[in-house]
Chains A and B, each alone.
Chain A
Amino acid sequence: MKRLRLHLVVLLVSALILGACQGAIKPAETQAPAPEETTLVVWDQFYRDVESQVMDTLNKEFEAAHPGVKIERVVKTLDDLKVTLKLALTEANGPDVAQVNQGRSDMGAMVEAGLLLPLDSYLAKYNWSSAFSTSVASRNSFTADGKTFGQGNLYGVSPTAEVVGVYYNKTMFKKHGWDVPKTFEEFEALLAKIKESGETPISFGSLDGWNAIHEFSAIQHLLVSLDYINNLTYGVNNVSFNTEENLQAAQILQNWAKAGYFSEGYAGIGYDDSNALFKAGSGAMTITGSWLAGELVNDTDQQFGFFLLPPFEGKTALAIGGVGIPFAIRNTTTKADLAAEYLNWMISPRAAELWAKAGMLPAIALPEGADVDTNNLFGDTLKAWDTINKGNAVGHYIDWATPTFYDTLVAELQKLLGSISTPADFVAAVQKDYAAYLNK
């Protein structure tokens, strides 16, 4: 008797669960958009105040130019977007257009799972290759099996650009009579001079980990060739991380830490806190990306400028840079043409002008006579991006190289900075991760 009752309960429970599931599925099936009214669902991560307004403006103008089209915008932070997007793209009612983070663990994995639409026919139709270079396009490209990064089909177009360089406190530089260095040798001499004056040469905090990759890789980019950094990032031609150049970059970074060029207690300071200190006038320089420029304009009595980490005497230098998170199209969408039209609008001259006005680097050239003030910090970052974009010197975020590279680099760089490991240990440990990936 007892057993029978238990069975009854289990049956009842299962019936309830099944019922609940069916109830959830049914309304979705009957929901079809009216033929004239088309809704394009767009997921983006421009959640910060100013950039969100740019998106709203662009969407409104797109709707005005396409009668009957409605944009349904969903805004998420990048972290939220990364976690939820993969499953959303497997849904028949998922977003038609979404921002997909570059690199293997996001775009690569989604291409492998067949979730993204190849954009090559639209590339030809809209002549996108005149808007951005092959080097930029390859960052959003994968082979159809998702295995090879940097070649094959185009899967996304990026509205914005990024470059990693040196922000400097103009107010402090003027007070002490320091000049913007022209070579890396001058840069290191300046670090020593700033240290002597009692100021902190480089505002930095490694508690969050990821920005330590930029500190190291910014130096690395002065030493390696574009071919090398392409090969390393895209995992082709079997290059090694254990090289003279990487060893030298690691040595320089460790020397800076030992010489006390970073903020006091940098190991216990987070990225945002370190920037807040820099903005408040502590630290002469900080090495990070152009995305910070907007933050350094208001609510501070200090003046800031930006320059690229200068090259070694007689060498040409690359800089970490790239294009922002691209817009991609869901493979199973029924509105591919409209979605492509939307992507094209996101990289139009009008969009470039709006992004520039908001203090963000547009991925494509600013149109002639655009109403944008460039005699300021934003102008400095724009100049830096132009320099590397036109000089074919746009490097990479090296943490794209393998799915575990980010975690490995963060852990190994913290050890290197804390002198727990030597530069030789560092390159060997990172190479171990890289080789394990290549051999898979």
Chain B
Amino acid sequence: MRSNQAYPGENKWKGWLYLLPGLLIYLVFTFYPILETIRTSFYQWDGFSARRVWVGLENYRVVFSDGQFVSAFVHNLVFIVFFCVLPVLIGLFLASLLSRKKMPGMTFFRTVLFLPQVISMVVVGVIWRWIFNPQFGPLNVLLTAVGLSSLTRPWLGDFALALPAVGSIGTWVQYGFCMILFLAGMQHIPEEYYEASSLDGANAFQQFTHITIPGLRAEIGVALVTTIIAALRVFDLVYVTTRGGPGNATLVVGFLIYRSAFQQNRIGYASAIATILMVIILVISLLIRRLQSGSAEQTA
């Protein structure tokens, strides 16, 4: 029995020892704070005083009845279009452009297109706040220069356009990540498939839908999970650009948590929102993984 489980000369418990540093960091900095957040969500607490009152599910009742969470979550759902759907589509498009034909300078394009992903979100926010500035921002200047001055707007201050404006920053950040992911995936698709299909008379679009997309199933799954999570937990971008305004037009769950916890000292209420958000993200991630493995079995 023993020889089946371990390599000769090695004790099994050594494996745990290798895991220990990572496990320790995970337990202390991720798992313990999560448990603490869940516990705090049952209390009324201002975050620093010794008075912490057990209120049971009261925080959850308030979260679902005061309307703030629901309206903020709707904005997060809109962000899924901008952080996930658009970047995946753009990423697929760019990846198939860059992978099919060998051209000089390809590495340069790949790097440049991936760059937004590398910049910190705060810096991204500051840059786009400047781009969107109604008086000296390049966007309105450009629109005016080409005779479209009727389209100029105070983008981040416009009630109808602020949410799409912030969302499009997300698209700009995320598509590079999707593209690199898909490019890597495409290298595993055998060239023969494409050759065989073109002999059979398939055009580029048919090749894309019947060879490339199925071949990228795993990568698309990863892209969906990470970008949807990014859309649901977005905070820094909103904090830097609009702080939830104008009105509450760009208020998202992440910012609502920050505002309740650190500006209004409602730690219990904020913890309840954070717990709900965590459960939602967990369910969505599991669902996507289930869908993905299910369809992978079908095609196999």
- Docked-complex contact A414 and B247, CB < 8 angstroms: yes
B23 contacts partner chain A, Cβ-Cβ < 8 Å: yes
CA distance A267 to B134 in the complex (A): 9
Closest A residue by C-beta to B12: A5
Q: Do A207 and B263 contact each other (CB < 8 Å), given the known contacts A113-B51, A268-B154, A420-B159? A: no
Q: Mark A77-107, 1 if CB is under 8 A from B, else 0.
A: 0000011001101100000000000000100
- Docked-complex contact B48 and A113, CB < 8 angstroms: yes
User: Which residues from 235 to 284 on chain A have a C-beta closer than 8 Å to any C-beta of chain B?
Assistant: 263-270, 273, 277, 282
Among A9-17, A22-30, A313-321, which stretch is in contact with chain B? Answer: A9-17
Q: Do A269 and B135 contact each other (CB < 8 Å), given the known contacts A16-B24, A83-B262, A411-B247? A: yes
Q: Do A265 and B157 contact each other (CB < 8 Å), given the known contacts A5-B13, A13-B27, A208-B243? A: yes
CA distance A82 to B264 in the complex (A): 12
Q: How many pairs of residues, A versus B, come closer than 8 Å at their CB atoms?
A: 121
- Docked-complex contact B246 and A206, CB < 8 angstroms: yes
- Docked-complex contact B247 and A90, CB < 8 angstroms: no
Q: Closest Cβ of chain A: how far from B238's Cβ, in Å?
A: 12
- Docked-complex contact A209 and B157, CB < 8 angstroms: no
Contacts of A90 in B (CB 8 A): 48
B132 contacts partner chain A, Cβ-Cβ < 8 Å: yes
B217 contacts partner chain A, Cβ-Cβ < 8 Å: no
Which listed residue, B27, B51, B157, B244, touches A267 by the CB 8 Å rule?
B157
Q: Do A113 and B50 contact each other (CB < 8 Å), given the known contacts A265-B153, A267-B157, A267-B158? A: yes
Closest B residue by C-beta to A410: B245
- Docked-complex contact A277 and B135, CB < 8 angstroms: yes
A152 contacts partner chain B, Cβ-Cβ < 8 Å: no
A56 contacts partner chain B, Cβ-Cβ < 8 Å: no
A289 contacts partner chain B, Cβ-Cβ < 8 Å: no
CA distance A418 to B23 in the complex (A): 52
A76 contacts partner chain B, Cβ-Cβ < 8 Å: no
A186 contacts partner chain B, Cβ-Cβ < 8 Å: no
CA distance A115 to B46 in the complex (A): 13
Main secondary structure of the interface of B (DSSP, over half): loop
- Docked-complex contact A266 and B157, CB < 8 angstroms: yes
CA distance A282 to B16 in the complex (A): 66
Among A38-46, A130-138, A389-397, A399-407, which stretch is in contact with chain B? Answer: A399-407
B28 contacts partner chain A, Cβ-Cβ < 8 Å: yes
Which listed residue, A89, A110, A269, A415, touches B154 by the CB 8 Å rule?
A269
Q: Closest Cβ of chain B: how far from A424's Cβ, in Å?
A: 16
Q: Mark B236-266, 1 if CB is under 8 A from A, else 0.
A: 0000001111111000000000010011111
CA distance A86 to B28 in the complex (A): 23
- Docked-complex contact B13 and A207, CB < 8 angstroms: no
Which listed residue, B23, B48, B132, B248, touches A411 by the CB 8 Å rule?
B248
- Docked-complex contact A267 and B264, CB < 8 angstroms: no
- Docked-complex contact A403 and B264, CB < 8 angstroms: yes
Closest A residue by C-beta to B155: A268
Q: Closest Cβ of chain A: how far from B270's Cβ, in Å?
A: 13
B232 contacts partner chain A, Cβ-Cβ < 8 Å: no
Contacts of A112 in B (CB 8 A): 46, 49, 51
B123 contacts partner chain A, Cβ-Cβ < 8 Å: no
Closest A residue by C-beta to B129: A270
Contacts of B48 in A (CB 8 A): 86-87, 89-90, 109-110, 113, 115
Q: Which of A90, A206, A269 has the most CB of B within 10 A?
A: A269
Q: Closest Cβ of chain A: how far from B263's Cβ, in Å?
A: 7
CA distance A70 to B232 in the complex (A): 49
Q: Do A86 and B246 contact each other (CB < 8 Å), given the known contacts A17-B28, A267-B157? A: no
Q: Do A415 and B246 contact each other (CB < 8 Å), given the known contacts A268-B132, A268-B156? A: yes
B47 contacts partner chain A, Cβ-Cβ < 8 Å: yes
Contacts of A83 in B (CB 8 A): 262
Contacts of A113 in B (CB 8 A): 46, 48-51
CA distance A37 to B262 in the complex (A): 37
Closest B residue by C-beta to A86: B48
Q: Do A407 and B263 contact each other (CB < 8 Å), given the known contacts A86-B48, A209-B245, A418-B247? A: yes
Contacts of A8 in B (CB 8 A): 13
User: Which residues from 121 to 177 on chain B have a C-beta closer than 8 Å to any C-beta of chain A?
Assistant: 129, 132-136, 140, 152-159
Which listed residue, A16, A87, A89, A268, touches B133 by the CB 8 Å rule?
A268
Which listed residue, B23, B134, B244, B263, touches A268 by the CB 8 Å rule?
B134
CA distance A263 to B154 in the complex (A): 11
Contacts of B23 in A (CB 8 A): 9, 13
CA distance A87 to B28 in the complex (A): 20
Q: Mark A55-91, 1 if CB is under 8 A from B, else 0.
A: 0000000000000000000000000001100110110
Closest A residue by C-beta to B48: A86
Contacts of B153 in A (CB 8 A): 265, 268
- Docked-complex contact A404 and B156, CB < 8 angstroms: no
Contacts of B266 in A (CB 8 A): 403
- Docked-complex contact A266 and B154, CB < 8 angstroms: yes
Given A115-B48, A277-B135, output 15 extra A-B contacts at Cβ < 8 Å: A17-B27, A86-B48, A109-B48, A112-B51, A207-B157, A264-B135, A265-B135, A265-B154, A268-B134, A268-B154, A268-B155, A407-B259, A411-B245, A414-B245, A415-B159
Can you list 8 A-B pairs, Cβ within 8 angstroms, ordered by A?
A109-B48, A208-B243, A265-B140, A265-B154, A265-B157, A268-B154, A268-B157, A282-B135
Where the two chains meet, the residues of B that have a C-beta atom closer than 8 Å to any C-beta of A are 12-13, 16, 20, 23-24, 27-28, 46-51, 129, 132-136, 140, 152-159, 242-248, 259, 262-266
List 8 tightest A-B contacts by C-beta distance, closest first: A265-B134, A267-B157, A268-B154, A113-B49, A265-B154, A268-B157, A414-B246, A86-B48
Where the two chains meet, the residues of A that have a C-beta atom closer than 8 Å to any C-beta of B are 5, 8-9, 12-13, 16-17, 82-83, 86-87, 89-90, 105, 109-110, 112-115, 206-209, 263-270, 273, 277, 282, 403-404, 406-407, 410-412, 414-415, 418, 420
